[in-house]
A and B are shown apart, each in its own frame.
Chain A
Amino acid sequence: MLQLSIFLENAKGRLAQALSVLAELNVNIQALSLADTKDYGVLRLIVDNPEKVEAQLKERAYVVKVTPVWCLRVEDRPGGLAEVLGKLVERGVVVEYMYGFVEKAGEMAQIVLRVRDQAVMEAAMGELREF
C-alpha cells in the first residue's frame, strides 16, 4: 500500500491550507498522522490514487513523496495491537512509525506501519498468514 507524505512548514495555517487543497482536489482521507518538529512537519495520508494526488500536489509546489507502508487489520479490543506487533517484532521487524484508525463499521481497527526493512516484514507476514 502507498502512503502520501507532505512536507509542511510549522507555521500558522499551513496544515489547514494543505487540507483545503486536498478538499479542492476531491481527495477523501482514509487515515492520517502528523509528525511535527519545531520548524516543520510531515503530514502522512492514506488516500485513493496516491500517485495521482502526488502529481497534483507537485504541480501546486508541495514537496510530496509516496512511500510503501503496510496496512494491517487488528481486533478492536485491549491488547489487539500489542499481540500483532509482538509477533512482528519477534520476527525481526523494526517499526519506523505507525498510526491507527478504527473502521466505521465492524469490530476491527486498522494500523498503518512503516518498517525499516520491507523483506523482513514480507517474510514475517508470510509466516503469520500461515497461522
Chain B
Amino acid sequence: MDAVDNTILIRLRDTIERALRVPHYRSAFANVGIASAEDIQTIEDFQKIPVTHKEDLRQNYPIGLFAEPLENIVRIQASSGTTGKMTVVGYTAKDIDMWAAAVAKALERAGITPQDIVQVGYGYGLFTGGLGLHYGSERLGALTIPLSGGNTERHIAFLRDLKSTVLACTPSYALHIAAAAADMGLTPKDFHLRVGVFGAEPWTEAMRGEIKQRLGLERALDIYGLSEVMGPGVAMECVHMKGLHLAPNFYPEILDDQGRVVPQGRKGELVLTSMGKEAFPSVRYRTKDLTTLTYGHCACGFCGWSLEKISGRVDDMLIIRGVNVFPSQIEEAILAVEGIEPHYLIVVDRQGALDALEVQVEVAPEVVDEISLLEDLREKLSQRIYTILGLGARVRFVEPRSLPRSEGKAVRVLDKRK
C-alpha cells in the first residue's frame, strides 16, 4: 500500500505531536522545518522527518526521549547492550496494555489458545523478551510458565512433567534445549510440544525445519520485536506463515542503503514509527533489520503490513574480499550438510593482504569415528559455502558446546580485522 490513507496520517500526527514534547525530537524536527504536527499533511511531509538511530537513544540515556513524566511511567526495560551502552525505554500502563494485547493477538493467530501451556524461555528482567511474552500469553488466557532462560534442565523437566505445549525462546536456545534433552536420552515423544514461538535473533528456513524435527513441533513461528519500539510482538507469523504480520500500532517503511524510502516489495532496512504509544514514541526508528514489506489480507483474518522473515541485520553484513556476506547464508550451507550441528561461529581475519574466512562448526556424534568421513564432510561444507558465496572458507571442526548458544542474542561472527 503506497498510498497511505488518512487514518494513518492522523495517527502519525499524534505521534509527532507527542514527540514534540521531547527536546531531542523538537530540535531534530525544527531542522527540517517542522514545528507542529500540522506541518505533516502528506506522507511526503512525514518522510522528511529525520530517522532515529540507536545512537540517539544512547545519547539521551537514560530517559531523555520519554514523552511522559516519570510518575506516569509504570515500567522500564532496557536493551541488552550487546553492542554498546545500554538503552532504556519506558511504558505507561496503557502502553503495557497495548503491548500485551498485541502479543496476545499474535499468539492467537499462531493457533495458540487458552488451553495451551506456554513455557517462556526468554530472559525475564530488563530484556523485553520474557515479560513481553509473559503478559501477552496471560492476556490470551494461557497457562504461562515464567522459566526465563538459562536453567536448561528445569526447562526439560517442565516440558516433560507439566506437558508444556508451547515453547517461546530464541531459536538457538531451542536447539540447545533439544540437544540437552537428547543427551539425557529423551526424544520428542517424551514432550507434548505443539508450537514454538522463536525470535530475538534472525534464523533461516533451514533452521526452522531443524528445530521442528528435534523438538517434535507442528509449527515453529517467528516473532519479531525490539525494545526500542516496544518488544516482542511487533510482528509475528500466523499459522499460514505468509510473512510476519505487523501489529497495527506501527507504521513501517523500508529504506535502501542510501536512506531513501523504497517501494513495496523491495528489500531494505525496516524503519518503524509507533502509533498510539505514550511514554516512548518511536519516530522513524532504524531497526537495522533487513526485510521486505507487503500489504494485504491473510487467510487468518489479518489485514495490514507483513514483513518477510528478517534475513539479516545491516551491521551483520561482512565484506570479505569484496564479497557481501550475511551470516544467514553460511547458516543455510551448514544446515544443508547432514552430520554437522546447527551451531557455528564465523571468524574473519586478515592474513597478509587477504581476508580469511573460517567457519567453526560442531560435528554430530553419528559421524565421529572415521577420519575419511569427517574429511568428506568438511569438504562438502566448504564446497557448499563456495557455491553460495563464491568464496573459499576454511571449515574447522570444534568440540561441542564450545560455540555460542544464547538466551538473548547469539554472537555468531568474530571479525578480527576490526
Contact = CB atoms under 8 A, between A and B. Distances in A.
Given A59-B183, A63-B363, A65-B366, A39 B399 contact: no
B396 interface: yes
B369 interface: yes
B365 to A, nearest CB: 5
Interface in B384-418: 396-402
A5 B402 CA distance: 19
A103 B95 CA distance: 76
Contacts of A97: 370
A61 interface: yes
A87 interface: no
Contacts of A99: none
B393 to A, nearest CB: 14
A6 interface: yes
Contacts of B399: 7-9, 14, 61-63
A61 B396 contact: no
A33 to B, nearest CB: 11
B371 interface: yes
A55 B185 CA distance: 9
A37 B368 contact: no
B156 to A, nearest CB: 13
Contacts of B97: none
Contact of B368 (A55, A59, A61, A65): A65
Contact of A44 (B184, B369, B372): B369
A97 B370 CA distance: 8
A64 B368 contact: yes
Nearest to B182: A58
B401 A40 contact: no
A36 B22 CA distance: 63
A105 interface: no
A6 B400 contact: no
Interface residues of B, number: 23
Contacts of B400: 7, 61-63
Contacts of B397: 7, 9, 39-40
B368 A7 contact: yes
Contacts, number: 61
Nearest to A43: B368
B369 A63 contact: no
Contacts of B237: none
Q: Kindly state the interface size class of chain A when it binds its partner.
A: 20 to 34
Contacts of B372: 96
A97 to B, nearest CB: 7
Contacts of B365: 7, 58, 63-65
Contact of A42 (B183, B185, B366, B368): B368
Summarize A's interface: helix, strand, loop or mixed: strand
Contacts of A118: none
A40 B400 CA distance: 12
A67 interface: yes
**Residue among B366, B374, B375, B399 having the largest count of chain A Cβ atoms under 10 Å:** B399
Contacts of B367: 65
Interface in A60-80: 61-65, 67
Interface string A1-19: 0000111110000100000
Contact of A7 (B184, B185, B363, B375): B363
A91 interface: no
B398 A67 contact: no
Contacts of A82: none
Contacts of B331: none
Nearest to A9: B399
A119 interface: no
Contacts of A39: 396-397
Interface string B185-208: 100000000000000000000000
B362 interface: yes
A42 B363 contact: no
Contacts of B370: 42, 96-97, 114
A5 B183 contact: no
Nearest to B184: A59
B396 A5 contact: no
A18 B362 CA distance: 17
A6 B365 CA distance: 9
A58 B401 CA distance: 11
**Residue among A6, A37, A61, A63 having the largest count of chain B Cβ atoms under 10 Å:** A63
A87 to B, nearest CB: 24
Contacts of B366: 65
A35 to B, nearest CB: 5
6 contacts: A5-B369, A7-B363, A40-B398, A42-B371, A62-B399, A65-B366
Given A7-B363, A7-B399, 14 more contacts: A5-B368, A9-B398, A39-B396, A39-B397, A40-B374, A42-B370, A58-B183, A61-B399, A63-B363, A63-B399, A63-B400, A64-B365, A65-B365, A97-B370
